[in-house]
Structure 1
Amino acid sequence: MSALLRVERLSGGYEPVQVFRDVDLVVEDRACVGLFGPNGHGKTTLLRTISGLIDPWSGDVIFDGVVLNRPGERRSRSSRNLNYDILVRRRMDPTRVARAGLVHVAQGSPLFPELTVAETLSVAVTAARAGGRAADVDMPYVLFPQLKARRQSKARFLSGGERQMLAMACGMLAAPRLLMLDEPTLGLSPKLRVELADAVHAIRATGVPIILVDQDIEFLRDLVDVLNIFDHGSISAAMARADIPDHDAVMAQMFGGAR
């Protein structure tokens, strides 16, 4: 397999606080790569930086052989009262990232609560077509049969698992060449986590590579080819699926004792 995404010595954060530093990450074609680590250690910030929502401070994001960022390092703000983006061109353009096919499904399944499932998917298709990429409009109902039964229900009336499936369906309608899922099981019951695992398996079956962030080791173990331990803003270990330990062993490794 060839590397579809290569992140090299990527650093970033929120001015003036650096959240992560010198991260190297590789995603092979058709692979699923996991990120596991405590809250507040930079996993979400890393995904937001790879997708260009946050400007990287330094390092490179290389997608299908193309460097998506401008060369050099990000200049620091000279004043907190000035708009940095007006004065200095960003190192990355999130529109360019999305149009390349690198699609980010954000944490918390952000949706329009008053739109129905069908209306939400219609908006997603329209946005994807405007960006030059769009999948088959019927594809979400094939991947997520629960959504077909709920297509006339407003998003605010969906269960947590159904909302997450709808968010992932919107991502898939953008015809991703790589899909980034940020904590899809956040706040879900064990039963709904099983349903979400089935949904991710369905996405994997389409051949779309995935970066999957989650805090449930068992959820990740069943899905990923490689698991990266993300600790204090850097990747401290990487292991193949067969070598992934159980939850207690990972806690002992990271914090010095079982939890």
Structure 2
Amino acid sequence: MQITAYPSFDLAGKKALVTGGSKGIGLAIAAGLAHYGAEVMITGRHEEALIEAARALNAEGGKVSWKISDVTSKEDVGALFKHIDAEFGQLDILVNNAGMNIRKLLVEVEEEDWDRVLDTNLKGIFLVGQQAAKRMMEQKNGRIINISSILGKVGNSLQTSYAASKGGIDQLTKVWAAELAEYNVTVNGLAPAYIKTSMTAHFLEDPERLGKIVDRTMMKRMGEVEEMIGPTVFFASDASSYVTGQTLYIDGGWTAN
């Protein structure tokens, strides 16, 4: 058998958008995409954090810009994509990363808690994904990567709103993959377990909670943000050209245990 072409992870010339890109998983992903050659725009709600993140990534040799935007607002998302059209002229890669969590028992969850989490984690994914899909369909090419969680598959206490939103993301990934395949647009998800970020930092300070996470994880540790880069670049690049509708678990073996 003769192999005529080998997969490329090169993202040179690609234009990428990373929502929630100023910190944590989003910042690591933006750094990874930029490292592999993509021109990246990061977005979020906090201007100072975006400026600092873009400055740091550009100092490392990346080509990164920023735009303040609230993914829960249709008007904001519309303005964001007008800006992308003007600055990029195309959008090849979307990483739908913006998210939040409010940890409460079911009987303690307020309606406003539910709305805040679902608006950010699910409505935001929808609003941004819809705008990206329109452009990618016209281009007849594109990559959409939705950041989910193992909690879209497994059940943990204190996660009513968050788990509901992540389960919804997993289903959106499948539906969008079916709708966009004919346009050469792939849609895949990444579902991390507990990754060391500002959102999970308190686990490291709670020996009991950390012990439960470590015991449940085959690799006996939490993940590092850098470990999100490889899977993202795979889904963003030509190396995954025949992969769509899938959710990849970056979980140290949690969901296989």
**TMscore range, shorter length:** 0.3 to 0.5
TM-score, with structure 1 as normaliser: 0.36
Higher relative contact order (CA 8 A, sep 6+): 1
The structure where strand makes up a greater share of residues is 1
The structure where helix makes up a greater share of residues is 2
